[in-house]
Amino acid sequence: MPLTPELRRSFFEQMTLSRAFDDQMIALYWEGKLPIFQFGAGPLPGELHCSNGAEPVGAGVCGALSADDMLTADHRPHHVAVCRGVDLDRMAAELLGKKTGLSQGKGGHMHIYDPSVNFASSAIIAEGMAPAAGMALARRLQKRPGVAVAFIGEGAANQGAFHETLNLVGVMKLPFIVVVQDNEWGVSTSKSESTAIERNSDRAASYGLAGEFVASNDPDDIYEATVRAVARARAGQGGTVLELKTARLAGHFMGDQQAYIPEQMKQADPIPLYRAKLLRDGVLTEAEADAIETASKARMEQAMQFAKDSPYPEPAEAFDHVFAGGSEASDKQEAGAAA
Amino acid sequence: MPLTPELRRSFFEQMTLSRAFDDQMIALYWEGKLPIFQFGAGPLPGELHCSNGAEPVGAGVCGALSADDMLTADHRPHHVAVCRGVDLDRMAAELLGKKTGLSQGKGGHMHIYDPSVNFASSAIIAEGMAPAAGMALARRLQKRPGVAVAFIGEGAANQGAFHETLNLVGVMKLPFIVVVQDNEWGVSTSKSESTAIERNSDRAASYGLAGEFVASNDPDDIYEATVRAVARARAGQGGTVLELKTARLAGHFMGDQQAYIPEQMKQADPIPLYRAKLLRDGVLTEAEADAIETASKARMEQAMQFAKDSPYPEPAEAFDHVFAGGSEASDKQEAGAAA
Amino acid sequence: MSARILTMSRAGREALDWEMERRDDIFCLGEDVYKFGGIFGTMDGFGAKYGPERVISTPISETGFIGMAAGAAMEGMHPVIDLAYIDFIGVCYNVLLNTASKTHYMSGGAVKVPMTLLIGTGGGYNNAAQHSQCLHATVAHIPGVKVVYPSNAYDAKGMLHTALRDDNFTIFLTHKATAGVGWMGTPIKTTLSEVPLEDYTVPFGKVKIYREGTDVTLIGLGMSVHECLKAADDLAKDGISAQVVDLRSLVPLDRDGIMAAVAQTGRLVVTDEDYLSYGVSGEILATIFERDPTILKKPPIRVAMPDIPIPFSRPMEQAVLPLAEKIAKQARKLMA
Amino acid sequence: MSARILTMSRAGREALDWEMERRDDIFCLGEDVYKFGGIFGTMDGFGAKYGPERVISTPISETGFIGMAAGAAMEGMHPVIDLAYIDFIGVCYNVLLNTASKTHYMSGGAVKVPMTLLIGTGGGYNNAAQHSQCLHATVAHIPGVKVVYPSNAYDAKGMLHTALRDDNFTIFLTHKATAGVGWMGTPIKTTLSEVPLEDYTVPFGKVKIYREGTDVTLIGLGMSVHECLKAADDLAKDGISAQVVDLRSLVPLDRDGIMAAVAQTGRLVVTDEDYLSYGVSGEILATIFERDPTILKKPPIRVAMPDIPIPFSRPMEQAVLPLAEKIAKQARKLMA
Ligand SMILES: Cc1ncc(C[n+]2csc(CCOP(=O)(O)OP(=O)(O)O)c2C)c(N)n1
Ligand SMILES: Cc1ncc(C[n+]2csc(CCOP(=O)(O)OP(=O)(O)O)c2C)c(N)n1
Ligand SMILES: [Mg+2]
Ligand SMILES: [Mg+2]
């Protein structure tokens, strides 16, 4: 699909919706955590890694994928999930630990699963790489189409799973893309401190894969690079390491003061930049852009309301879903803490 | 040091000594294992991975190292150990599980340690990579010289530890060399089946390291490539991925029938080739070459005799060396199997 | 239908072959499985029969290929993975600990991960500290994975059918000495069974009473079951009647079955080739202690691998393994 | 000399600082340690004080940098590694299981691996299944590694001095809720102690009696010690005198100390935030059962994390944690 005005408008819609998701979650996160900060307090407890600044990645990559394709994301999954079309209400409810959440409150924000749109995420660095490749293999065996896309951070590219998976993808010529989101930081460690070379896309050569690098954090450019990678994958030409320069505007997680970031490394917000670009290109008027931003916020308010209004799971539900088809954990409940 | 005739003669000495080690161990290995094969039977039990064919790697690389340098080898350590000058008697005794062995019988052939020549080995694939890099780091912190050299197989280059370690070496600019011994096989799996690209030395670019490839399985060429890598390391120019084409003439381990190796992939024995070369170059006469081979066999026979004549450890010695400075395992002995 | 005497290796192979013939969702992967058929020959000849698409020899990349298996399982396949030695879990433990075992739960039941991981355990053949471990307690301590451990051919086939039809991640352990493969010498008699030709399942979570007895209960798993049987033979010479119980399954664990068996004799020796502390032997004792210690006439005794790395040399290794002689000695103590 | 009330975090930091000031062989490494000072602030300010050569922020390559630490230790250094969450052991387990723990043994004592691995454990703050585990039994099951687990500031400092002066690989665990770091809220009172300014060591392998009591013994480790203390307060209101025992050290395990403590009350509740099965609680019960079950008047009770992945949502997580209320309830059962 060419980069039509409709598509670009939808990128803007998705980016603003993703931003609304994060902004509203951030606001809620601080409830109950001030003046004394504590991960476990308030209506949205636990660690929270927001995607502010990375929305172009979600919009641009997901825009180039089809319903068949399979995605795995990492500890920072919101932008990908929102742009993939994961059920917004149930995702919001999951972050709040509610019964109506995607995982009925068992997963939280680092464990977002929505099989209806082939979306999964997990919290161990680079953990999603190999499963994504396996999903691609499954489809080949099933003679069903589908490209697998693993989203990781630039910090994750130094984890062993990155290497092992990419070599397997190369050997098996799997339809696979790893999206390396280079936001310059892995917690407080800069890419240059952690990575021996400048670009992970250059590492593609180690595996006989294609490497592409997009420097702009602009969804149009990301889209077009992804379209090329997807085309290669569908044509049986193998995998791609797609490295995308992006931004991390809300710290590593909530509570990160980011004192370690020097002034010259402060990052630009891609949403106003893209808005200005679309206005410049005549794709949107000021009024249309405002309307989209307003609609995104409203949609997210609705999801937040759904989440807040939903009940918590019953304590005993903790024992469900240990195993598919009935939990053999039951004998242990008696002996254990549930007593 | 230039490639002098003396040095080349010493390569031949070491290669033949290493071969004598393996040949005599192989002969002993089959004692007690025929007609019914069983890993655990006979005077030399357990798995045995011999180095036949890889001697040029041991001779050429070790010839370029100095006493300061540190080596880690893998499950196939004999050729490196012999060429490094690990105590031959005690190594032989270790393979036989004797009290006089390097590890007093606790290690066996995959766990050869001789700190007096900075030699270590271990049996999990790619396990020696990161420790070698750490040894190099220790020396830097101690302001003592020393290059670390990790010996692995080409199969190990697809293990996560390879990637993580090389990136760390690149970031920290450590004096480190990984010697990738490409014998074309990882058990029954050929390099082309396991590795997405032809040469692991090309993977050096992923880590800002130098990559060198030597195709000849000739100790002279290996020596010279190693000299270059060592010079870079000592000059603070960082690490090298040194891939060496070599041979595996005695199967993966004893008992491997190697039916999976097609005729055209049969490998040449480097020892007669090197002998012929030295004769051609006038470095050795026939008589001298014969004398060296005879001396090597005799030296190994002596080591074998030492090993055979040595006593086994006492059963209760199993409980020693669990911890340095006294074993807290003792309270468990009482409760456990030692009862 | 007719039955034959088979090794565990051949029996397991039959189950996998039966399922693969009938189901497209099963495929095999692991190092050297295409040419070598897996460490226990469970996939012997499958390369030729099913082709390289369904019998995949992988690089030495355990995190990669077991992680891929988990992903394929999430996408509707049932992968069967060969991980030769349990000592290698160190390089792929995250897939076991956090991915394959927890995804079903973390997704609130939305995602299933049906896969079977075949792993060899144990020592006794002088393969030293990094190739002789059992570590079954390590994997059984992970919530969300079933861990089974047949010790004879009949169970091997039936439990593998069960695993392959289960919608969960199952770790299927086999002690190397029990499998009946070439490189371990003549198969141990008590591992061989009459195995029906047709398919059948053996349910997880039930202990098996290998031998009835009235004086003392010997509990084992994997190879130690066979050491218990040997010990029982020896004890019989002294007129001591030993019951031998095979745990067979660590998750789920048949706590009721253990209680019932032990209650029949009132004396207990638990054997385990895995390290003593924080392991299976402790869990068995704890279960009895918390449920009803009065079923025992005397304090129970554990015969397990001490908490030491496994030594290479034969005299040392033999001294620390939970062998029949030691088991019989402890049983005699209980009878004194 | 004078002492101050410190958190575990500050106390641990003092020990490490003292040793680093005096010894060249110690250096620190881990993710973000240079700028952030480690998950518990044990290296807080060390970046500025000791420089990037001795306080090394690493890439997210746990197999790489912990393996490097092991190699540096073999070459005469004593690395101190920060591995924030024990849930991450999955990506570096081989270094723990096979390298750092076994090299001394496999080399017949020729090679030493002195290193200290600091790891955070535990949940209770809604961080879900991959960031809330304890897994202390998993690491304690490995032979060749010492595993210690202070639960208060005094022990944190003294045991860290001990670890840093030990020639072996020590895993030094701290439950996140006990450390007294900013992101976990107000420090728990019972984790704070008077901490001497000077250096001192606390030996490994000795239980600590936190509170004397005559009716029932509550055994815990890490965070569950503090839940036991809370339970003991509550029980006191009913006139029940509860003794609270902190294991402090899993390897070596003070089996004699456990026996002596439990014998004083004859009633036992063992608490553990790690998964119930194949863990610490079983080992404690087994030890008493095999040594002398008659020291107990009633069967012991375990209050542990059930064998399930840890749920994110607060009502579910709170329900499965071994909290004071549950502990007190079980203790009352024993008194009934
Ligand atoms: C194996 C592992 N190690 C460490 C962590 C802790 N951790 C969580 S996010 C993170 C930084 C990740 O950086 P990057 O991959 O660049 O992603 P970003 O946070 O920048 O999106 C770290 C170290 C983890 N979750 N898993
Ligand atoms: C992590 C791990 N996986 C698997 C093995 C089993 N194994 C031992 S040697 C070997 C093949 C190694 O091939 P390569 O690295 O090329 O060395 P070579 O044997 O050819 O010298 C395998 C798979 C192991 N020891 N460790
Ligand atoms: Mg990043
Ligand atoms: Mg090889």
* Closest CA relative to residue D20, chosen from D194, D165, D167: D165
D66 touches chain C (CB under 8 A): no
pLDDT confidence tier of residue C3, bands split at 50, 70 and 90 = confident
Contact C24 A142 (CB under 8 A): yes
Phi, psi of C180 (to 5 degrees): 80, 40
3-state secondary structure of D6: strand
Q: Which atom of ligand 2 is nearest to the CA of B185?
A: 20
Chains B, C: CB contacts within 8 A come to: 181
B261 touches chain C (CB under 8 A): no
Distance B156 CA to ligand 2 centre (A): 7
In this structure, what token pair is assigned to residue A300? Answer: 């997210």
- Indicate the residue of C93, C106, C299 with minimum beta-carbon distance to D290: C299
| CATH architecture, domain A5-338 | 3-Layer(aba) Sandwich (3.40)
Length of chain B: 339
| Prediction ipTM score | 0.98
Per-residue confidence (pLDDT) for residue D2, from 0 to 100: 80
**Would the CATH topology of C3-196 be identical to that of C208-335?**
yes
Per-residue confidence (pLDDT) for residue B293, from 0 to 100: 98
Tell me which residues of D are annotated as active site: 62, 131
Asked if A113 and A107 touch (Cβ cutoff 8 Å), the reply is yes
* pLDDT tens digits along D234-285: 999 999 999 999 999 999 999 999 999 999 999 999 999 999 999 999 999 9
Buried b / exposed e along C229-263 (16+ C-beta atoms within 10 A): bbbbebbeeeebbbbbbbbbbbbbbbbebbeebbe
* pLDDT tens digits along D77-119: 999 999 999 999 999 999 999 999 999 999 999 999 999 999 9
In this structure, what token pair is assigned to residue C265? Answer: 């004799």
Q: Which helix (H) or strand (E) holds C79?
A: strand C78-85
* pLDDT tens digits along C101-160: 999 999 999 999 999 999 999 999 999 999 999 999 999 999 999 999 999 999 999 999
Residue matched to tokens 């202690």: C289
* Mean pLDDT (chain D, rounded): 97
User: In chain A, what are the domain boundaries?
Assistant: 5-338
Q: Cα separations (Å) of B188 from A77, A265, B248, B268?
A: 41, 50, 12, 18
Chain C residue numbers with beta carbons less than 8 Å from the beta carbon of A325 are 166-168
Q: What CA dihedral angle connects C211, C214, C218 and C220, to 10 degrees?
A: 40
Residue C227 has, within 13 A of its CA and on its CB side, a CA count of 29
* pLDDT tens digits along D277-301: 999 999 999 999 999 999 999 999 9
Contact C300 D290 (CB under 8 A): yes
Per-residue confidence (pLDDT) for residue D71, from 0 to 100: 99
Q: How many helices and strands, by DSSP H and E, does chain A display?
A: 11, 8
User: In chain D, what are the domain boundaries?
Assistant: 3-196, 208-335
pLDDT confidence tier of residue D1, bands split at 50, 70 and 90 = low
Q: What distance in Å separates the CA atoms of residue C278 and residue D281, rounded to the nearest whole number?
A: 8
Per-residue confidence (pLDDT) for residue C39, from 0 to 100: 87
Q: How many CB atoms lie within 10 A of CB B319?
A: 21
Q: Which atom of ligand 1 is nearest to the CA of A156?
A: 15
Task: Please tell me whether the peptide bond between B272 and the residue prior to it is cis, using omega within 30 degrees of 0.
Answer: no
Of residues C19, C31, C62, C273, which has the active-site annotation?
Answer: C62
pLDDT along chain A (339 residues), means of 10: 96 98 98 94 97 98 98 98 98 98 98 98 98 98 98 98 98 98 98 98 98 98 98 97 98 95 95 98 98 98 98 98 74 43
Q: What is the DSSP string of A89-115?
A: HHHHHHHTT-TTSTTTTSS-TT---BG
Q: Could you give the percent of chain B with pLDDT greater than 70?
A: 96
Q: What distance in Å separates the CA atoms of residue B275 and residue B80, rounded to the nearest whole number?
A: 19
Distance D304 CA to ligand 3 centre (A): 37
Per-residue confidence (pLDDT) for residue A338, from 0 to 100: 40
pLDDT confidence tier of residue B1, bands split at 50, 70 and 90 = confident
Chain A residue numbers with beta carbons less than 8 Å from the beta carbon of B193 are 171
In this structure, what token pair is assigned to residue B293? Answer: 């081979």
Single-letter residue type at C254: D
Asked if D151 and D226 touch (Cβ cutoff 8 Å), the reply is yes
What chain A residue is nearest to B207 in terms of C-alpha separation? A196
Instruction: Please determine, for residue B9, whether its predicted confidence score (pLDDT) is greater than 90.
Output: yes
| CATH architecture, domain C208-335 | 3-Layer(aba) Sandwich (3.40)
Rounded to whole angstroms, the maximal C-alpha distance in chain B is: 67
Q: Which atom of ligand 1 is nearest to the CA of A49?
A: 19
- Indicate the residue of B103, B189, B319 with minimum beta-carbon distance to C32: B189
Q: What distance in Å separates the CA atoms of residue C102 and residue C274, rounded to the nearest whole number?
A: 25
A 8-67 near C (Cβ less than 8 A): none
Strand pairing report for C169-175 and C115-121: parallel
Q: Which helix (H) or strand (E) holds A88?
A: helix A88-95
3-state secondary structure of A180: strand
D 290-309 near C (Cβ less than 8 A): 290-293, 299-302, 306-309
Q: What value does the mean pLDDT take over residues C295-320? A: 98
Chain B residue numbers with beta carbons less than 8 Å from the beta carbon of C90 are 124
Ligand 1 pocket (Cβ < 6 Å) reads A 75-76, 123-125, 152-156, 183, 185-187, 248, 252; D 31, 60, 62, 88, 91
Q: Which residues pair with A241 in a beta bridge?
A: A178, A211
The 8-class DSSP code of residue C98 comes to I
Q: What distance in Å separates the CA atoms of residue D67 and residue C227, rounded to the nearest whole number?
A: 38
* Mean pLDDT (chain B, rounded): 95
Q: What CA dihedral angle connects A198, A201, A205 and A208, to 10 degrees?
A: 170
Asked if A1 and A7 touch (Cβ cutoff 8 Å), the reply is yes
Angle at C47 between CA C45 and CA C50, to 5 degrees: 100
Q: What distance in Å separates the CA atoms of residue D229 and residue A193, rounded to the nearest whole number?
A: 45
Single-letter residue type at B217: N
* pLDDT tens digits along C116-127: 999 999 999 999
Nearest CA to ligand 2 atom 25: B124
Q: Which helix (H) or strand (E) holds B84?
A: helix B78-84
* A117 CB burial (10 A radius; 0-12, 13-18, 19+): middle
Q: Where are the alpha helices (DSSP H) in chain C?
A: 8-22, 33-36, 46-50, 62-74, 93-94, 103-106, 136-140, 153-164, 223-237, 255-265, 280-291, 314-320, 324-335
* pLDDT tens digits along B63-104: 999 999 999 999 999 999 999 999 999 999 999 999 999 999
Q: Best substitution site from B80, B125, B180, B195 to test ligand 2's pocket, by max atoms within 8 Å of Cβ?
A: B125
- Indicate the residue of D61, D71, D104 with minimum beta-carbon distance to B135: D71
Q: What value does the mean pLDDT take over residues B160-183? A: 98
3-state secondary structure of C166: coil
Per-residue confidence (pLDDT) for residue C2, from 0 to 100: 80
Q: Which helix (H) or strand (E) holds C208?
A: strand C208-211
Q: What distance in Å separates the CA atoms of residue D216 and residue B322, rounded to the nearest whole number?
A: 36
Signed CA dihedral, D173, D176, D182, D185: sign only: negative
Q: Cα separations (Å) of B156 from A7, B185, B254, D67?
A: 45, 11, 20, 16
B 191-230 near A (Cβ less than 8 A): 193-197, 202-203, 205-209
Asked if D104 and D113 touch (Cβ cutoff 8 Å), the reply is yes
Residue matched to tokens 């930049």: A273
Ligand 2 pocket (Cβ < 6 Å) reads B 75-76, 123-125, 152-156, 183, 185-187, 248, 252; C 31, 60, 62, 88, 91
* Closest CA relative to residue D138, chosen from D181, D87, D182: D87
Chain D residue numbers with beta carbons less than 8 Å from the beta carbon of B171 are 59
Q: List chains adjacent to chain B, taking adjacency as at least 3 C-beta pairs closer than 8 Å.
A: A, C, D
Q: What value does the mean pLDDT take over residues B226-250? A: 98
Fold of C3-196: Rossmann fold (3.40.50)
Instruction: Please determine, for residue D210, whether its predicted confidence score (pLDDT) is greater than 50.
Output: yes
C123 touches chain D (CB under 8 A): no
Rounded to whole angstroms, the maximal C-alpha distance in chain D is: 61
Residue matched to tokens 């396990």: B127
Q: Which residues pair with D167 in a beta bridge?
A: none
Per-residue confidence (pLDDT) for residue D39, from 0 to 100: 87
Residue A82 has, within 13 A of its CA and on its CB side, a CA count of 31
B331 touches chain D (CB under 8 A): yes
Q: What value does the mean pLDDT take over residues C13-28? A: 98
Chain C residue numbers with beta carbons less than 8 Å from the beta carbon of A132 are 71
D 227-266 near B (Cβ less than 8 A): 251-253, 255
Residue C198 bears catalytic tag:
no
Q: What is the DSSP string of A252-294?
A: SSTT---TTS-GGGPPPPHHHHHHHHHHHTTSS-HHHHHHHHH
D101 touches chain B (CB under 8 A): no
Of residues C131, C161, C175, C226, which has the active-site annotation?
Answer: C131
Q: What distance in Å separates the CA atoms of residue B151 and residue B180, rounded to the nearest whole number?
A: 6
Per-residue confidence (pLDDT) for residue A326, from 0 to 100: 67
A 74-113 near C (Cβ less than 8 A): 101-107, 111, 113
Q: Which atom of ligand 2 is nearest to the CA of B153?
A: 15
Q: Which atom of ligand 2 is nearest to the CA of C90?
A: 1
Q: How many CB atoms lie within 10 A of CB B66?
A: 11
Chain D residue numbers with beta carbons less than 8 Å from the beta carbon of B325 are 166-168
